[in-house]
Amino acid sequence: MIQFDKQTNTLTLHTAHTSYQMKVDEKGVLLHTYYGKRLRKGDLSRLICHEDRGFSPNPYEAGTDRTYSLDTLPQEYSTCNVGDFRPTSLEADFADGSVAVDWRYVTHHILHGKYTIPGQPSFYDEGLTAETLEMVLKDAHTGLEVTLLYGILEELDLITRAVRVHNGGETPVALTRVMSLCLDFPAGKRDYITLGGAYAREREPVRAHLTQGTHSVGSVRGTSSHQSNPFVVVCDPDTNEDHGSCWGAALVYSGNHLIEVTGTQFDETRLIMGIHPFHFRWQLEPGDTFHTPEVAMVYSHQGLTDLSQKFHRGIRLNLCRGTWKDERRPILINNWEATYFQFDADKIVSIAQTASQVGVEMMVMDDGWFGKRNDDFAGLGDWNVNEHKLPGGLAPLAERINALGMKFGLWVEPEMVNEDSDLYRAHPDWALQIPGRKPTRGRSQLVLDLTRAEVREYIKDNLRRTLNSANIVYIKWDMNRSLTDVWSMGLPAQRQGELYHRYVLGVYEILEMLHQEFPHILIEGCSGGGGRFDCGMLYYSPQFWCSDNTDALDRLRIQYGTSFCYPCSAVGAHVSAVPNHQTGRETPMHTRGVVATGGTFGYELDLNKLSQDDLDEVAGQIAQFKEDWEVVMRGDYYRLTNPFEPGYYQAWMHVSQEKDVALVSVVMGETHANPIRPLLYLKGLNPQEDYELDGQVYGGDELMSGGLALPVQKEHGAVQYKLTRV
């Protein structure tokens, strides 16, 4: 619900439990006055103190009033080079060489329903009460105009923001920085949390106390990256899982991004988020409009768990789309770690035969099925079936898999090309590379120039042909390198700064084609595992391969960090072989299964190499997951421990929306002589109800306040408890 108070010129955006307020002041500056717990009424601009601050200049229209300065006012979209020295929301080069932008209010519109962004992903309002606020601001000198878009998804406690930039002047403008979000906080001590990491160590939470100055993280790799996820939390220093104020922001975008958290000279905080300005330069001709990606915001006064759960519900129900968005995904087995490139049709079928006997529902054939793809050095770009490995093509193999009662899926990497390929020999200019320079390789491959329509059409045509050639119901869309040598034959020199963003728009265009033309197909995103795990990709692929690192103990950390923003229904998690291919570590089959139940669940190994005991364990895992999937996929997720801190065990739990079923998962740490018997305190149960566990009945309040005594387990052993309300 959006309320406009004409007397105070305030606009207040209400969700079920939060309020967000802005005010147009007497000089037309749009001030940010509040974002927090829901309010009944009030003009919170009364909290803004006007003082004469040294070296904080004053707008000309302020006259002799030295207490009014843009440098000290909280703004909805910050200005540039007109007196505010904090990070700017937008920077532009104008025809006269100037860069100043001074935003002033023009008008606003309140609309029913949630806005959309042309050619880009965004949250949608299906099944919700939703409104859009359009706030139009203009720089009077240049004619440049921004429309700040606010989407209010009331029941989800979620507010989205995006920006339309319109050149209303008479000369071209070069945008060099366009942020989607500017959020100013009042004075106070704060922490911030980002998700860092590396390949095979994705989304490691990094919490720091905010000091004076600008603290930034981001990606210039062309993707959201393994190293910096486009998600951030600003919180009070004492905020923990269960209490305290916290504000989360997730960028719905899959390319270069920037997150800046600034502690000001007056102990205030400014959060800036959007497309990274590195090598960004968007030419805006008179009359042209540029659309930024969307940011989704959530506030909670009940700690990080509640914040995460609100993101989980919003992403699962109103960002993911299609047939599979809220359904149980087929339990699959992927042959990559079982065979790598060394397979043929009979080998795939042999794995599938054993898999079908223990309850696996889908066989996925990974890299190596096309062209001369026998290693990393050749074949990418040539999407013709390698009939030496697969006689007759994909259809006969799919029929053999289907005859076992299983579905058939396929790995693809459409964005890439090898130099040793028919495609590259025919069209070397279709790869990103700078004339006169030798290209930089990643995984022995180059990146196709998706800014060019002919390249996108080539990829679409090949995907259509492949998917229509056999009964394929799943594709794993991979992307195995960062962008370098960023230059396109299809763009003039003055538009090369548009390439990074146009590349991402090209990816979205192809994925949207798949969504429209093949709605029955489940797409799992992948980028060397979790290198493009973001809200932008989840709009097209409702699950993402969480990490190439399938080691169960490492996955405890990766899945923990992922859970700060992303729901378990989006997490691709598999049981793999031991010794683990990434770490060499051996963990029990049961433990690997318990960890994988924190996601969509599947297998990444050759079941033919397992003992009968392990096969029996696999059959039991699959049967149990089929029974428990709804509480895992649709329930509320609780982090009970932090795997980055020392502990006797690591634990998490899922609780159904009705609080009638809970699944508690525990993995033990190192074992020592004369062990300590720790207690596990549960969360999320109804304290007024009783729950049955292994034939015993306990009160919900008893389990949360008194705890559960854990049995002694072998090192890295695991246990799961299922609680049912009686």
Longest dimension (CA), the chain: 86
Let me know: does 261 contact 278? Beta carbons within 8 Å.
Answer: no
Could you give the C-alpha distances from 358 to 182, 408, 597, 617, 623, in angstroms and in order?
52, 17, 17, 9, 9
Q: Which residues of 214-228 are buried (b: 16+ CB within 10 A; e: fewer)?
A: eeebbbbbbbbbbbb
Q: Is 328 exposed, middle or buried (0-12, 13-18, 19+ CB in 10 A)?
A: middle
Give the dihedral of Cα atoms 270, 275, 276, 279; nearest 10 deg.
-140
Q: Residue 294: beta bridge partners?
A: 252
> How far is CA 363 from each of CA 393, 397, 402, 474, 592, rounded to the nearest angstrom?
16, 11, 9, 10, 20
State whether residue 632 is helix, strand or coil.
helix
Can you state the angle between helices 499-517 and 453-468, rounded to 10 degrees?
30
Amino acid at 328: R
Within 13 Å, how many C-alpha atoms sit on residue 225's CB side? 23
Determine contact, residues 176/281, Cβ cutoff 8 Å.
Answer: yes
Query: Do 190 and 494 contact (CB within 8 A), yes or no?
Result: no
579 cis-preceded (ω within 30 degrees of 0): yes
Cα torsion 545, 546, 551, 556 to 10°: value is: -150
CB 302 within 8 A of CB 242: yes
382: nearest Cα among 374, 373, 393: 373
Dihedral sign, CA of 528, 531, 532, 534?
A: positive
Token output for 375: 């290693």
CA atoms within 13 A on the CB side of 622: 21
Contact partners, residue 7, CB within 8 Å, separation at least 6: none
Q: Which of 61, 86, 90 is nearest to 72 (CA)?
A: 86
Q: Are 462 and 423 in contact (CB under 8 A)?
A: no
Q: CA-to-CA distance for 9 and 474, rounded, in angstroms?
A: 52
**What residues contact residue 283 under an 8 Å CB cut-off, 6+ apart?**
172, 173, 174, 494, 495, 498
Tell me the C-alpha distance between 240 and 700, whole Å.
Answer: 22
Q: Which residues contact 694 (CB under 8 A, 6 or more apart)?
A: 721
DSSP 318-377: HTS-STTTTSPPPPEEE-HHHHTT---HHHHHHHHHHHHHHT--EEEE-S-SBTT-SSTT
- The Cα-based distances of 423 to 372, 509, 610 in angstroms read 12, 21, 40
Q: How many angstroms from the chain centroid is the CA of residue 276?
A: 16
- Give the angle subtended at the CA of 522 by the CAs of 517 and 524, to the nearest 5°: 120
Q: Is 236 a catalytic residue?
A: no
Q: 699 forms bridges with which residues in the sheet?
A: 690
H-helix or E-strand spanning residue 537: helix 535-538
Contacts of 456 (CB under 8 A, 6+ apart): 450, 506, 509, 510
Q: From the candidates 449, 548, 606, 614, which is the catalytic residue?
A: 548
The answer to whether residue 478 is catalytic is: yes
Q: Is 586 helix (H, G, I), strand (E, B) or coil?
A: coil
User: Could you say which of 139, 478, 554, 636 is catalytic?
Assistant: 478
Catalytic (active-site) positions: 478, 548
